[in-house]
Structure 1
């Protein structure tokens, strides 16, 4: 296993990284990227154990419902590159299981990659979303064929790929990117059916970053959350990148072009839902604290908004638990969360998130945006004014109340809050993607049978009469004896 210092050193590997208009020679020293690197380094140190035959819990394969639940609980305390690594590798294993019968060579490569990643203790991010160009056109009909990552050359040793992947969280501070098709490809689109693990420092790879880190000269009290939890988003360019065969898991096989993204969607959405359980509870806690600080906790409409937020949080938790309790198992004995409950939970969490944030802002009031800096509370010329006018009652002084406002703003209404607002919807695929999976896994035949029973119609469409109309409770649903 690597220590935090060894991990930071491993990032000084010649990778080509850019942010805010300039090249970054060392991501561990760049102010806009250093935060995520240090957070991941702390994760390395937290998990580190000496020895040649040990590995971190993020390389764990659950084989029971209890192990699945325990692994998801552990993720709540991990840095993002570690979470991404766990999801990426579980995705690789799930895809390997689904491909084994038709393509055993790919399945074996995937398993070998899992073991090699565990041995090297690396961090892996997922490369899913292509640039896409004109969304109305398929990959092969774009005016530039590189708008979806594709194979541009093949040899006995491997393939050469070209294109770009977008929205890659923590790309700048990870070791490999797991490239996969963003959707099911059609006949004629074999070159776009590519899945492979690519090192971030491979020749031809460039990472162009967006960062939501606060400027280093600003007061961390003004950014109480994002100053400690910083995310970077990378656009990864593959400029004729050679990928050796042992890192290629799909190279033109259309029947499995969607296997990887579906497998990843399952694990990424489960992890997202687990984090949304905590996120929803946090929103409820902030709403209750600020209501109490403002003296409004007993006002009916405030109580009603908080009750709505509690219901939202509870339904996410219930579906999250159901996804694990109804786990399925691969032929290898690996546990996988239930697709119906996982996707329903993800959809509900994302679809209603804006409403919950609206409730929080409505409860908190305008000071979420207008509360002065805590530095003004230390300034002799302004401190007395703020202590007088920002307090509300005994036990709620200006410092406490202003910290609540700044936390709510930073968490939900500033740069980080805006990033969170979009990613809750888009991470793991947009809302429509969850609807597609939920529809595919819903027991529609049972629902139709119940509807026919209610209507007194047989499976063949005939109208039932007499005893045939008696329902399971021994009475005619129409009311007739």
Structure 2
């Protein structure tokens, strides 16, 4: 059933072991670094119960209402519904959030497509993934995923260094498997469960490996420790850093200190073919909501830059319009790839409808690859005042505030307070610690750039181009046979 925000908050009070800034966090729902993002996730839950949002946020199946974001996609309309729901959420929270559950559940759908591979390991594991998809859908839990390891020395095999550098199997028991190691995961400290899977790593050429693991882990499991980076929320006044204080998605080093994973939560283990399959198809679905969220970053940059140009009359200059047009084309190119990926969607091996893989991965690479340049372009359009403007307390000071009122008021449309708010917003979006974090996060959140390009290579259908050149050049049919063997 659809959860409420209160039910979500209650689910986090499970005794989980969370640390930040060298201190134990006993309740993430009230801690100042976590409360803003917990409140946002709770708000998303509550939206599905409100008449204004319910028709878009939820759907009925039998006598039960479920979250539209977790619905298995079978039609183009399913994807359009998901997109409309994300649009509502982004506008309601006045910003953007990357990890709220709908984007990571797609990784489970990739497992659903790979049931034949899982059956090679054990038919029970195939059943486990079906059961967990149903569980996520019916219980509406906050589901995330844990992927990246602490790395260690990547010139060596995991077995040739501290084995705990990569998450691995310690032993099997009647109750399940015991695992040890670490993973990084955004939102883990305030999520309910995570799909934990192997990273892009050298787990060896053997058929079986203790490092080839995929399972569902309860974020409050005994032995699991959440070691979080310092949060941005609360470090500076909200009036000066509105985005940092509104929505900081805290990243966590998850330490698995001999954590027991019940057999019903094991999706595959020790089977390197299953691990390789999952790594190759992991973002088949989840890349769509990830890229869609970059579209909202583009809108934020474009809106902030356009307001800054308009307030001082610079928008009439051709050079400024050209730069705004570049931000517009960045935004619309992302939009075009997302739209086309659904318009030309494909049936998946498991019978679901997946976005056109070549278009989706190409759009993803473009969105992420061009993001640094677009952020810098937005900085140019916003001007140097985003880095030199005094803080809100100075504007409010009775002795000196009048001077700021004089020099920051532009015309009858833009008085000092609105201008200060816009400059503070642009600074937080483009120049702050959070802005730098966002840029790095988007670069690596799904996979490193080389993996993005490999995904394009592996999912592009070369047949048309090869056939065209073969016919134009008068080549024999046997040249196509060579390509097919690669």
TM-score, with length taken from structure 1: 0.89
**1:93–1:111 CA contact under 8 A, matched in 2:** no
Q: Which residue of 1 aligns with 2:252?
A: 234
Structure 2 counterpart of 1:95, from 111, 121, 124: 111
Q: Distance in 2 between matches of 1:350 and 1:152?
A: 37
**Distance change in 2, residues 1:429/1:331 (3 Å):** closer
Q: Which residue of 2 aligns with 1:171?
A: 188
Structure 2 CA distance for partners of 1:56 and 1:457, relative to 1, 3 Å: closer
User: How far apart, in 2, do the equivalents of 1:269 and 1:136 lie?
Assistant: 29
**SS of the residue 2:153 aligns to:** coil
Matched, 1:183 2:194: no
1:306-334 Cα offsets, whole Å, 9 max, x none, are 11111111111111111112212235532
2:223 alignment partner, one of 196, 201, 204: 204
Q: 1:88: how far off?
A: 3.4
Provide, for residues 50-90 of structure 1, a one-character-per-residue CA deviation record: whole Å limited to 9, x for no partner.
99833222321121112112213312444889954333333
Q: Decide whether aligned partners of structure 1 residues 81 and 289 sit closer, same or farther in structure 2, where only a CA change above 3 A counts.
A: closer
Q: Residues 319-368 of structure 1: CA distance to partner in whole angstroms, max 9, x if unpaired?
A: 11111122122355321112211111111011111111111111111111
Alignment of 1:387-466 (within 5 A): 387-455=405-473, 457=475
Kindly indicate whether the alpha-carbon contact (under 8 Å) linking 2:209 and 2:270 is maintained by their aligned counterparts in 1: yes
- Alignment of 1:153 onto 2:171: yes
- Separation in 1, partners of 2:260, 2:313: 63
**In the aligned structure 2, how far is the partner of 1:338 from the partner of 1:239?**
40
Could you tell me how far 1:379 is from its partner in structure 2?
1.8
Partner residue, 2:334: 316
Task: Give me the whole-angstrom Cα distance separating, in 2, the residues matched to 1:190 and 1:438.
Answer: 28
Please say which of residues 304-313 and 322-331 is displaced more in the overlay.
322-331
* Equivalence for 1:45: 46
What CA RMSD, in Å, does the superposition of the two structures yield over aligned residues? 2.3
**Correspondence 1:341 to 2:342:** no
Larger Rg: 1
The equivalent residue for 2:483 is none
Q: CA deviation at 1:452?
A: 4.5
1:63 corresponds in structure 2 to: 74
Report the Cα distance in structure 1 between the residues aligned to 2:19 and 2:449, rounded to whole angstroms. Answer: 31
- Aligned pair count reads 458
**In the alignment, is the contact (CA less than 8 A) between 2:97 and 2:249 conserved in 1?**
no
Residues 22-421 of structure 1 aligned to structure 2 (within 5 Å): 22-48=23-49, 53-78=64-89, 84-100=100-116, 103=119, 104-141=123-160, 143-166=161-184, 168-183=185-200, 185-188=203-206, 190-215=209-234, 218-330=236-348, 332-421=350-439
In 1, the alpha carbon distance for the partners of 2:112 and 2:186 equals 24
Query: Partners in 1 of 2:139 and 2:132 — Cα distance?
Result: 10
1:256-310: per-residue Cα shift (whole Å, max 9, x none)? 1133344432233211111112221221222111111122112222111111111
Of stretches 254-263 and 72-81 in structure 1, the one that deviates more from structure 2 is: 72-81
Structure 1 residues 257, 174: closer, same or farther in 2, change over 3 A? Answer: same
Greater alpha carbon shift after TM alignment, 268-277 vs 246-255: 268-277
Partner SS state of residue 2, structure 1: coil
Q: Summarize the Cα distance change of 1:146–1:244 in structure 2 as closer, same or farther, 3 Å threshold.
A: same
Is the CA contact (8 Å cut-off) linking 2:106 and 2:284 kept in structure 1?
Answer: no
TM-aligned CA deviation for residue 459 of structure 1: 5.1
Unaligned segments of structure 2, at least 5 residues: 55-59, 480-486
2 CA distance for matches of 1:231 and 1:101? 34
Question: For the Cα contact (< 8 Å) 2:97–2:247, is it kept in 1?
Answer: no
In the TM superposition, what is the alpha-carbon distance from 1:396 to its structure 2 partner? 2.0
Counterpart-to-counterpart distance in 1, 2:101 and 2:288 = 14
Change (3 A) 1:219 1:337: same
Matched residues in 2 for 1:354 and 1:34: separation? 29
Contact 1:132 1:139 in 2 (8 A): no
C-alpha contact (below 8 Å) 1:210/1:234 kept by paired residues: yes
| Alpha-carbon shift at residue 99 of structure 1 (Å) | 2.4
- 1 CA distance for matches of 2:177 and 2:362? 38
- C-alpha distance 122-260 of structure 1, shift in aligned 2 (>3 A): same
For structure 1, which segment, 332-341 or 227-236, has the greater mean C-alpha deviation from structure 2 after superposition?
332-341
Cα displacement (A) at 1:424: 1.7
User: Residue deviations 1:190-216, cap 9 Å, x none?
Assistant: 111110001111111000111433326
Q: Which residue of the partner structure matches residue 484 of structure 2?
A: none
TM-score, with normalisation over the residues of structure 2? 0.88
Matched, 1:6 2:17: no
Secondary structure, aligned partner of 1:449:
helix
Most deviating of 72-81 and 21-30: 72-81
